[in-house]
Structure 1
Amino acid sequence: MENSATTIENLVERIEQYSKTSFDLYKYSAIYKTAALFSLLAVKLVFTLITFIVTLLFTVALALWIGDVLQKTAYGFLIMGIFYVVLGIIIYIFRKPWIKIRISNLVIDSFESEQKS
């Protein structure tokens, strides 16, 4: 009877150890995936910030040039403002297929590529 009790205790101890190890493995896997996702988003954010600054400088230069051509600087900024309002409306109308779906696919692909490796 003692031998049977010892075997059951060993089995329970191994099951407990397996459960703790499995939990730690899932926890570390989740941490790794989260870190990979945040690093990917950080790279995208830096790229977006640089693109924004370049676009801003290009827009100001273009507005000043249009203003010089039209002999009135304010007209250049007005035309560029109208251009960005129209662009904003177009982006708003097509936000789901252009932005939402692409970001969702990016996150899903990020998690899938981590599972394959």
Structure 2
Amino acid sequence: MESNATTNENLNLYEKAEDYAKTSLELIKLKTIAAAADALSTVTSRIAVGAVVAFFTLFLNIGISLWLGKLLGEYYYGFFAMALFYLIVAVVLHKTQHRIIKTPIGNMIVSSILKEETKN
């Protein structure tokens, strides 16, 4: 009788451990899906806003180029002036890309993915 009771207890313990493992795996899957969905939705919304800002910037730059060109006497001078401005901006961004661009974007992505863990 005693071996039967021990065997039943072991089977019961084994079933509970198996259920716990399955539940834990399912919870990990759901948390991963939630974090991925949150990160993807954040990136998608930022891309949409970025596209609108890009069109605004494009038309603003064309307008400024034409205005500068009119002031300088030839329209293409305005485009050259804007190109020089953007060359200077590109050099500054290249020199400071880690501090200004890479680190903040990396931090945003990590915090977005780990946001679920900080709530708990």
Which residue number in structure 1 is paired with residue 13 of structure 2? 11
Among 30, 35, 56, which residue is 2:37 paired with? Answer: 35
Which residue number in structure 2 is paired with residue 82 of structure 1? 84
Among 1, 4, 22, which residue is 1:2 paired with? Answer: 4
Contact 2:66 2:78 in 1 (8 A): yes
Which residue number in structure 2 is paired with residue 100 of structure 1? 102
Output the TM-score relative to the length of structure 2. Answer: 0.92
Distance of 1:114 and 1:93 partners within structure 2: 35
Contact 2:35 2:114 in 1 (8 A): no
Which residue number in structure 1 is paired with residue 60 of structure 2? 58
List structure 1 segments (4+ residues) > 3 angstroms apart after TM superposition: none
Give the partner amino acid of 2:20. Answer: Y
Distance of 2:91 and 2:5 partners within structure 1: 77
Of the two structures, which has the highest relative contact order with CA contacts closer than 8 Å and spacing of 6 or more? 2
Output the TM-score relative to the length of structure 1. Answer: 0.94
Distance of 1:114 and 1:55 partners within structure 2: 35
Distance of 2:104 and 2:118 partners within structure 1: 21
Q: CA RMSD in A?
A: 1.0
- Per-residue CA shift, 1:11-69, capped at 9, x if unaligned? 11110110011011011101100110111111111111111111110000000011111
Give the partner amino acid of 1:57. Answer: F
How many corresponding residue pairs?
Answer: 117
- The CA deviation at 1:10 is 1.1
